[in-house]
Amino acid sequence: MTEPLIVGAMVRTLGAYPSGWRHPGAHADPQADAPILRRIARLGEDAGLDYLFFGDWLATGPDLEFRDPYLLARIDPVSAVLYLAGITERIGLIATVNTTYADPYATARATASLDLLTGGRAGVNLVTGAEPRAAANHGRDAHADNATRYDRAEEFVRALRLLWESWDEDAWIADRLTGTLIDENGLRGPGFRGEHVRVEGPLNVARPPQVHPPIVHAGTSDRSRALAATEADLALIASPDLHSARETRAVLRAAASAAGRSPDDIKVIAPVLPVVAETDAAAHAIVDRLLLLVPIDDGESPHVERPGFPANRSLAAFLDAAELAPDDPSRGAGVDEPVDAVAAARFGEAAARTLALVEQRTGRRVGGEVPVTWRHLIAAHAVPAAFVVGDASTVADHFERWSDERAADGFNVLSAFQPDQFEAFTVLAVPELRRRGLLGRQGDTLRERLGLAGPRPAHAPVERSASSVGP
């Protein structure tokens, strides 16, 4: 490893695991997000993390309560980063914008303003959207198809870069003697005309300190990866294991090179969901509690009859996934009964993996003094999560292994619940990451901290005569 990893926090105030908000002491009220955001920002900045990342979702509905509660009600990401701009000094602030529905001029204006107000700490995550309900919320009959969304996204990025460059670096003269405020030749509008995006400009915000705030993109489709390879500074991946992450990173770097970029100009960032405590046993107990708090069909849950309750949260659904026969004796078990070794031996490959993960993450054992129950398996199967569970050393081992294997250039840290688990990460794991040289990047701007080269100019350079800039 030649330099520290990029380490940011993906902020979800209601927690990144669906039952996290139910954990004792966890934040559970979006109307009280403001103090939680301030606490997260202070913890992240004091820990020396590189950025805070805010995702987005442009619709809501009762079904999200069971699938992704944090999406039900949340602060607009641009509002969140502007709110935190005034109470932070060093940490980067990345907000998500949906290019399918956003206006490029308004986006350029907000992100350039954020960059100016923070001295170069802004970043923008560009997404194309996956929620069909968002279309009606923006006065459209249907969500655009994948090809159309990415055609627009490519034009959107081009327009953003042109708008950010509206002002040349030396366009602002402010010569009090002559009364000349600007060099008019240093102010340019994009005059951009695409099939999906049109913007005249120029931007009525001064030149951002970073010129181009870093662009982030995530996705798995061919078009998404192509956009990341050509335009993204950070590419967010969601590979299920180290091997696939390493392959994805290699593919993205090769695609960036084929597009004429240095492969080092695209940083591949993986998600990580650490459950960290003073000891491995204490961390196991937290995961155990999270699994037990997942609402399932146990014959008593009042949620089962509600619209949107997932059909896979039952013993029958797990046993089907485990490939057990319709007349298997396990189908008559109670969800809180222990799983016996005879039944576990009949599991198919996928269910056996789920069982192994439950044992690894909770410390329970089939046939052990503290046994695995069917409830644990149902919850782990229905609500999978890439937990990294243990003490500071265990979490740091994961970071170090992925770094050594070149599976990622950094991590987006998620917290199962807020604020205690994020605080545990910053207080317990961060010092160990620093000790190993895995954390501690330097730079005055977000671009510098991410190790990015200077932005590629979108405008052609302007030739100006000496007379155009005053005496």
pLDDT tens-digit map of 4-47: 999 999 999 999 999 999 999 999 999 999 999 999 999 999 99
221 is annotated as contributing to ligand binding: yes
Domain 6-166+206-277+386-450, CATH? 3.20.20.30
- What is the four-CA torsion angle of 160, 161, 164, 166, rounded to 10 degrees? -110
Residues of the chain with CATH 3.20.20.30: 6-166+206-277+386-450
Q: Which of 157, 121, 11, 12 is nearest to 70 (CA)?
A: 12
83 is annotated as contributing to ligand binding: no
404 is annotated as contributing to ligand binding: no
Of the pLDDT bands very low, low, confident and very high (cuts 50, 70, 90), residue 463 is low
In this prediction, residues 244-257 reach a mean pLDDT of 96
In this prediction, residues 222-233 reach a mean pLDDT of 94
Contacts of 283 (CB under 8 A, 6+ apart): 275, 276, 277, 389, 390, 391, 394
Q: 7 pairs with which residues across the strands?
A: 411
Q: How far is CA 269 from the centre of its chain?
A: 9
Residue 460 has pLDDT above 70, yes or no: no
298 is annotated as contributing to ligand binding: no
pLDDT tens-digit map of 92-108: 999 999 999 999 999 99
Q: Which of 392, 405, 410 is nearest to 3 (CA)?
A: 410
Q: What's the whole-number average pLDDT of the chain?
A: 94
pTM given for the model: 0.94
φ, ψ dihedrals at 52, nearest 5°: -110, 135
